[in-house]
Amino acid sequence: MKKKKSQIQLILEAVRMLDTHQHRLWPFRIDLRKLKMASDRDCVLGQLYGSYHTAAWALGLYLTKSPHGFNVTISKPLWKTTIRQLRIQRRTSAYRGRTRV
């Protein structure tokens, strides 16, 4: 019997998927004020691809019946927290990677 994945596990899998298919700076393209998980255009995928459905086809989400982190049932506050943390981590790592002239 398969164990049901937690919302954070689903979000982390979704983050890995976006890191593979988008530039690693995709978290900076999300407008957290507009984020609505039930919206075709204002959800995470809608903001990156133009619509949830366009992204779902591009990422192959329609080919699987398993739950994923872009589902409308996933917690909006949890996504917001994850995106904020990713922005901090990626901003810091980008800064560390710079060389002084």
Task: Using the structure block, give the residue that is written with the tokens 């949830």.
Answer: 52
* Domain presence at residue 2: no
Give this prediction's pTM.
0.85
Note whether residue 1 is domain-resident: no
Q: How far apart are CA 35 and CA 11, in angstroms?
A: 15
Token pair of 23 as six digits: 């530039």
CB-CB contact of 24 with 87 (8 Å)? no
Say if 101 falls within a structural domain.
no
pLDDT at residue 12 in the model: 96
Residue 92, domain member (yes or no): yes
Give pLDDT, residue 86. Answer: 97
Q: What was the pLDDT predicted at 96?
A: 66
Q: Report how many domains make up the chain.
A: 1
> For the ranges 13-17, 20-24, 59-63, 78-82, which has the lowest average pLDDT?
59-63
b/e burial code for range 22-59 (CB count within 10 A of at least 16 → b): eeeebbeebeeeebebeeeebbbbbbbbebbeebbeeb
